[in-house]
Amino acid sequence: MTGPGGTGKTRLALQVAAELVGRLRDGVFWVPLGGVSDPELVPPEVAQTIGAPDDLAGFLRGKELLLLLDNFEHLLDAAPGVVRLLASSSALRVLVTSRAPLRVSGEREFRLEPLPTGDASALFVERARAVGKELALDSTVELICRRLDGLPLAIELAAARTKLLGPEALLERLDSALPLLTGGARDAPERQRTLRATIEWSYDLLDPASQKLFARLAVFAASFPLAAAEEVCEADLDVVASLVDSSLLKPIADDRFLMLETIREYARDRLEHANEADIRQRHATFFSSLAEQAYERRFEAEADWSARLELDHDDFRAALDWLSANHPGRALELAGALGWFWLSRGLVAEGCRRLAEALADSPATGRPRARALTASGSLVARQGEVERGPAQVEEAIGLWRELGDRDELASALDSLGWSLIYDAGDEAGALEAFEQSLELRRELGDPAAVTRALVGVCQVLVALGDVDRAEPMSRNLLERTGEDPRTEHFAYHFLADCALIRGDTVEAEKRYRQSLQAALPLGDVIETSAEVQGVAMAVAGNGDPERALRLGASVEALWESLGISISVAFWDALLERYVGAARIALGEAADAVWAEGRALPFDDAVELALKNE
């Protein structure tokens, strides 16, 4: 859907999307892109919106859904990626709003033109009624709409002023203002210059306090919470309300506000010409503080804080960009505080890039570098760099020891343990790291942290096949779970592993299914896929080789789509013992069943694994 700014592309696209809700099996998703500046971030932004942070192509496979990609005109280099998304599912539909077409195969362009006079006048009367002004649809209204070139946004902004001005006075002001204000760039389309003039006219009608806040709010990259506006922009609630009344700001859910991209462009121009040199500094300070709060509470409320940071991810990116250019040391601090978030949300590539840039640009040492190295090492190892990743974490451990920060040292040792057991296959090294972390946690007297360290130790015991020690520890973990779904997930998983190692596949199937149910709320696709593999092995042992192969093949396809290869010796041996036996049992039919499993969407594989057949 193309057209100049202000023609109502977003509003019409949202209406189309709303009418498709309930008609498409797997849903409708709105992906606002106004705050995204890098074309490479479009796929992860889509993945975050639809709930598939680690496996976008795999998630879309076989799905019937609509993606609404809103405000795409500044991200046209990402257009080939849209085509690749469409290729992943024949039932996927993509609706794009943009001031320019994408110029890709299969594209159908719907050009949105300004409203004809009759429709424009009806819209004006309707919007005036919404602010409490009853108007007749007469020649004056028609003249106003003609002067506004039938642009819906311009009409809405003008209609908001009928609360103070009658149509005749409104027309008079437009007649005097527009000729003076349309003298923008001569190569800009007339309609865009008229829209700018209308926004400027609305701006000029604001009182000085509202004008100042309007410009300051352009510092936000996307929607923002009221608390941020109050702290960063010194916003007063009454002044915010005046901008809402003037249709220059839109309230959305949970005390958040949104400035339309077309309006933000004008506000940004006003901000650049204002004497507001410290506004970006305050913006970066606010979001750095928020990131630090989240970092401090990342263990006690991981899911809540991860979701909270996701709401403002565009502003964290903007803050990092500004800090990188102006205060590299503070950029390193912010990137280090966000490392756990990038790992939790599956934004591994973005996290690696941001941390690498921050570490290279800042000469800072001490805590900022130690934290950034801890986060970077975990992310790098997850990308498969099994030597560089742990090496970075070990460098961080050395710094934490020098600093005498035992809490952070314990966390870094825990990170090293997981990097070694999951990514490097070093059970002995992992056990040493986890046991050192556990000892520190006990000395610090933090029960929840002790539990997290015990999870790592138990994982190594399972990997070593020490069922006699691992099983009672797993039951103890289950008792210590509290409100932590991740610990619950691991406890059930380890109990399932122990049962499978012993050959008790009935118990293993039950426990893997419980672990899968506990893992789902975490949104961690790797952990979820491991449980599906576990169910596959258990059902193979319970006499259902076809189901086992379908589940195992679906996970294989998932991991290939993620570009990862996970190989843990004890797990590989169990897969060969059970899934390998299922292949032998099916004989010549095995390859066909495996192919069916690879074509099975992973969400469907999860449902299949949860069935108690």
CA distances from 454 to 53, 434, 449, 461 (A): 28, 8, 9, 10
Instruction: Give yes or no: residues 408 and 290 share one domain.
Output: yes
Query: Does one domain contain both 516 and 603?
Result: yes
Whether residue 236 sits in one domain with residue 165: no
Does 266 share its domain with 298? Answer: no
* Model confidence at 201: pLDDT above 80: no
Give the integer Cα–Cα distance in Å for 136 and 147.
18
Mean pLDDT of 468-476: 95
Question: With contact defined as beta carbons under 8 Å apart, do 115 and 150 qualify?
Answer: yes
- Say yes or no to pLDDT of 189 above 60: no
Higher pLDDT, 56 or 295: 295
Confidence of residue 592 (pLDDT cuts 50, 70, 90): very high
Angle at 475 between CA 473 and CA 478, to 5 degrees: 110
Q: Which among 548, 560, 535, 536 has a CA at the least distance from the CA of 593?
A: 548
Residue 477 counted as domain residue: no
Residue-wise pLDDT for 563-577, tens only, equals 566 778 899 999 999
Domain count, the chain: 5
Instruction: Give the confidence band of 299 by pLDDT, cuts at 50, 70, 90.
Output: confident
The Cα-based distances of 212 to 223, 242, 363 in angstroms read 18, 12, 37
Average pLDDT of the segment spanning 264-273: 90
Amino acid 551: pLDDT? 96
Report the sign of the C-alpha dihedral through residues 468, 459, 449, 437, in that order. Answer: positive
Residue bearing tokens 């990626």: 81
Q: At residue 182, does pLDDT exceed 50?
A: no
Query: Which pLDDT score, from 0 to 100, does residue 426 have?
Result: 87
CA distance 577 to 533: 13
Greatest C-alpha distance within the chain = 88
For 324, half-sphere exposure in the C-beta direction (CA atoms, 13 angstrom radius) is 16
Tell me the per-residue pLDDT of 532-559, one tens digit each, with 9 for 90 and over: 999 999 999 999 999 999 999 999 988 7
57 neighbors 88 (Cβ within 8 angstroms): yes
**b/e burial code for range 591-607 (CB count within 10 A of at least 16 → b):** eebbeebbebbbbebbe
Model-wide pTM > 0.85: no
Do 48 and 145 fall into the same domain? Answer: no
DSSP designation for 2: B
At 276 the pLDDT is 87
Average pLDDT over residues 504-528: 89
Average pLDDT over residues 321-331: 97
Residue 269 one-letter amino acid? D
pLDDT digits 0-9 by tens, 28-51: 999 999 888 899 999 989 988 888
Please tell me whether residues 166 and 226 are part of one structural domain: no
Q: Is the pLDDT of residue 80 over 60?
A: yes
Per-residue confidence (pLDDT) for residue 183, from 0 to 100: 37
- Tell me which residue range forms the domain holding 59: 9-96
Measured in degrees and rounded to the nearest 5, phi and psi for residue 6 equal 95, 0
Residue 31 is assigned to a structural domain of this protein: yes
* Same domain for 236 and 139: no
Report pLDDT for 185. 41
Residue 425 pLDDT greater than 80, yes or no:
no
> In percent, how much of the chain has pLDDT > 70?
95
- The three-state secondary structure class of 56 is helix
Max avg pLDDT among 140-149, 161-170, 359-368, 419-428? 359-368
- In terms of domains, do 397 and 301 share one? yes
Instruction: Specify the higher pLDDT residue, 382 or 544.
Output: 544
Least confident residue range of 72-86, 168-182, 418-432: 168-182
Gap between the Cα atoms of 265 and 262, Å rounded:
5
Find where tokens 């300051």 sit. Answer: 216
Give residue 36's pLDDT.
Answer: 87
Residue 485 lies in a domain: no
Q: Using the 3D structure, point to which of 204, 235, 260 is the last residue of a domain.
A: 204
Is 387's pLDDT higher than 70? yes
Residue 262 has pLDDT above 80, yes or no: no
161 pLDDT band, cuts 50/70/90, is confident
In Å, how far are 6, 114, 126, 192, 476 from 118, measured between CA atoms? Answer: 18, 11, 12, 21, 72
Exposure b/e, 198-225, CB count within 10 A at least 16 = b: bbbbbbebbeeebbbbbbbbbbbbbbbb
- Pick the range with the lowest mean pLDDT from 149-158, 266-275, 604-613: 149-158
End residue of a domain, out of 247, 276, 305: 276
Rg (CA), the chain: 28
pLDDT at 179 over 50: no
260 close to 153: Cβ distance less than 8 angstroms: yes
Cα–Cα distance measured from residue 109 to residue 129, given in angstroms and rounded to the nearest whole number:
34
Q: Give a yes or no: residue 298 inside a domain.
A: yes
Q: What does the pLDDT read at residue 175?
A: 64
- Residue 92, in any domain of the structure: yes
Q: Does residue 134 share a domain with residue 176?
A: yes
Q: What is the mean pLDDT of residues 424-453?
A: 91
Residues 318 and 262 in one domain: no
Dihedrals phi, psi of 429, to nearest 5 degrees: -65, -40
Residue 158 DSSP class: H
Interval 477-488: pLDDT, tens: 999 887 788 899
**Residue 451 falls within a domain, yes or no?**
no
Considering 220, 254, 276, which residue would you say is the last residue of a domain? Answer: 276
One DSSP character per residue, 487-553 reads HHHHHHHHHHHHHHHHT-HHHHHHHHHHHHHHHGGGT-HHHHHHHHHHHHHHHHHTT-HHHHHHHHH
Give the least confident one: 215-219, 244-248, 308-312, 336-340.
244-248
Q: Could you tell me if residue 469 is inside a domain?
A: no
pLDDT digits (tens, 9 = 90+) for 230-246: 999 999 999 999 888 77
Using the structure block, give the residue that is written with the tokens 């900022």: 368
Quick one: 514 and 554 in the same domain? yes
Q: Name the band, by pLDDT with cuts 50, 70 and 90, for residue 206.
A: confident
CATH of the domain at 212: 1.10.10
Whether the pLDDT of residue 266 is over 50: the answer is yes
- Mean pLDDT of the chain, nearest integer: 89
Say yes or no to pLDDT of 73 above 90.
no
Give the pLDDT band (50/70/90) at residue 184: very low
Residues 305 and 406 in one domain: yes
Structure token pair of residue 183: 């003298």
109 in a structural domain: no
Q: How many CA atoms lie within 13 A of 188 on its CB side?
A: 14
Which DSSP string do the residues of 70-117 spell out, in sequence order? ES-GGGGGGHHHHHHHHHT-TTEEEEE-BSS----TT----B-PPPPH
> Where is pLDDT greater, at 432 or 564?
432
